[in-house]
């Protein structure tokens, strides 16, 4: 059986909601097809003088509610299909948490761990030159995603400003020194922890009694682990793509981080080594996939033991696995809600850049929690009203908002 592409997977997840909303085929096409998609060639000189040529992408999905917004991913497997699906998710995410953005995504098909800093700078600046005309502070605003970080955003800001004049609001997720928002780096992980707390309360799970397994220990996984630990949650397993560790008595995330800083891997102490696949099948109450798409699909869905899955990554559960796990009564907190803290604080950064007036990080986190709380309440209410899953409820709210903006504005 051939595997669904990312877009097929994502669109299949939407189909039930489209049916319920009785959308016409033309409306479905309008909502699933991107507004614009671009691939550019990025040649750069690498160390030693050789030439390497990469492919860069930007997909702008929908701008009915505001400028295109979404991250840039540097990953060897990135392609146009994946970028399209991820761009669409950004539209729903922004609509669900009710911020004035549409959705976009982009990136470069490259393994950033195999490049040195000056090669990455050259690559990013060349990408910005090629995509420059498509971007704009009121048109399309990139941000970090997998494989990129605040340094990448600083390079984009510099390259764009050279050509178009000083424009900090052209990207979000910048370092604080050049207009980044205090709290942006922590935002996605903190938002996921906040979602976990909200949904535990909702379904009657006591935070101090639950065990959690986290797949992915990058920026999101780290801040998520920090917040969950502060909330009294026991983290029993953490992994990265090469594998991870398990300890039924609980792991100390900070020690693991220190191992990783020193050795590049999270192994150490008396923790049991596990594979990345083992992590997903860990005996725990809550599983948090915080890495790639389709981590949970037909090959492992029957082995998932957790009661709840909180989607810190985008699209970590395939369509087929979603149907199976829902049928088994598992609670899935959907990506467009669970990981929306990142784009939300990006919005705060964009607002601050435009006003040149900066907030303290406490203010950012407080505003984030308030806005996310409202979105959680709306999703829970809608799921009860429609007797639907949280995912369908979240999509329903987002799609209704986007459609309404399209119809109000006309074409
Ligand atoms: N890359 C993040 C996401 O997938 C954040 C995007 C943004 O801040 O624009 O939600």
Block means of pLDDT (10 residues each) for the chain, 411 residues, are 76 92 95 97 94 98 98 97 97 98 98 96 98 97 96 98 97 97 94 97 95 96 97 97 96 96 92 95 97 94 97 96 96 98 97 96 93 98 97 98 96 78
Residues in the chain: 411
Please name every residue paired with 239 in a beta bridge, in sequence order, or none if there are none.
Answer: 215, 244
CA–centroid distance, residue 343 to ligand 1 (Å): 5
With tokens 């178009």, the residue in question is 164
69 CB within 6 A, ligand 1: yes
pTM of the model: 0.96
- List all residues 6 or more positions away from 127 whose beta carbon is below 8 Å from its beta carbon: 40, 42, 56, 72, 108, 156
Residue closest to 54 by CA, chosen among 27, 72, 35, 33? 72
Q: Strands, DSSP E only, in 203-292?
A: 211-215, 234-240, 243-246, 272-274, 286-289
Is 260 considered catalytic here? no
Token reading at 162: 């050279």
Q: Cβ(233)–Cβ(212) under 8 Å?
A: yes
First to last CA, the chain: 40
Q: Given this model, what pLDDT does residue 2 score?
A: 56
- The one catalytic residue in 19, 20, 24, 105 is 105
Token reading at 158: 């510099």
The four Cα atoms 142, 143, 148, 150 give a dihedral, to 10 degrees, of 120
Q: Given this model, what pLDDT does residue 1 score?
A: 45
Q: Strands, DSSP E only, in 154-304?
A: 211-215, 234-240, 243-246, 272-274, 286-289
Q: Given this model, what pLDDT does residue 42 score?
A: 98
70 CB within 6 A, ligand 1: yes
Kindly tell me the burial class for residue 363, based on how many C-beta atoms sit within 10 Å of its own C-beta (0-12, 13-18, 19 or more).
middle
């Amino acid at each position: 059986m051939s595997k669904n592409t990312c877009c097929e997977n994502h669109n299949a997840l939407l189909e039930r909601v489209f049916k319920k909303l009785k959308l016409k085929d033309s409306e479905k096409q309008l909502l699933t097809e991107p507004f614009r998609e671009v691939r550019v060639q990025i040649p750069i000189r690498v160390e030693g003088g050789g030439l390497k040529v990469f492919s860069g992408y930007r997909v702008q999905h929908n701008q009915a509610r505001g400028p295109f917004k979404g991250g840039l991913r540097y990953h060897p497997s990135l392609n146009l299909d994946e970028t399209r699906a991820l761009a669409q998710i950004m539209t729903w995410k922004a609509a669900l948490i009710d911020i004035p953005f549409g959705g976009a995504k982009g990136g470069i098909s490259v393994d950033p761990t195999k490049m040195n800093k000056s090669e990455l700078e050259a690559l990013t600046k060349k990408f910005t030159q090629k995509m420059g005309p498509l971007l704009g502070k009121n048109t399309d605003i990139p941000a970090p995603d997998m494989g990129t970080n605040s340094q990448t955003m600083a390079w984009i800001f510099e390259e764009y400003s050279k050509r178009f004049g000083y424009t900090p609001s052209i990207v979000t997720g910048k370092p604080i020194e050049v207009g980044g928002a205090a709290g942006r780096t922590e935002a996605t992980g903190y938002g996921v922890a906040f979602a976990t707390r909200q949904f535990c309360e909702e379904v009657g799970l006591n935070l101090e009694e639950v065990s959690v397994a986290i797949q992915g220990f990058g920026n999101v996984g780290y801040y998520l682990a920090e917040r969950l630990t502060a909330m009294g949650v026991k983290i029993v397993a953490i992994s990265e793509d090469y594998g991870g560790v398990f300890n039924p008595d609980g792991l100390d995330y900070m020690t693991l981080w220190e191992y990783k800083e020193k050795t590049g891997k999270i192994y150490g102490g008396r923790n049991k080594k596990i594979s990345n696949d083992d992590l997903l099948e860990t005996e725990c109450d809550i599983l948090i996939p915080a890495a790639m798409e389709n981590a949970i699909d037909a090959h492992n869905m029957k082995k998932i033991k957790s009661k709840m899955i909180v989607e810190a990554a985008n699209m970590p559960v395939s369509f087929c696995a979603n149907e199976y796990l829902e049928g088994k009564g598992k609670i899935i907190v959907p990506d467009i809600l669970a990981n929306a803290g990142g784009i939300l604080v990006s919005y705060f950064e964009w607002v601050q850049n435009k006003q040149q007036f900066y907030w303290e990080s406490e203010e950012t986190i407080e505003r984030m929690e308030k806005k996310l709380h409202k979105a959680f309440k709306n999703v829970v209410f809608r799921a009860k009203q429609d007797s639907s899953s949280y995912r369908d409820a979240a999509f329903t709210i987002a799609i209704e908002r986007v459609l309404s903006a399209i119809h109000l504005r006309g074409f």
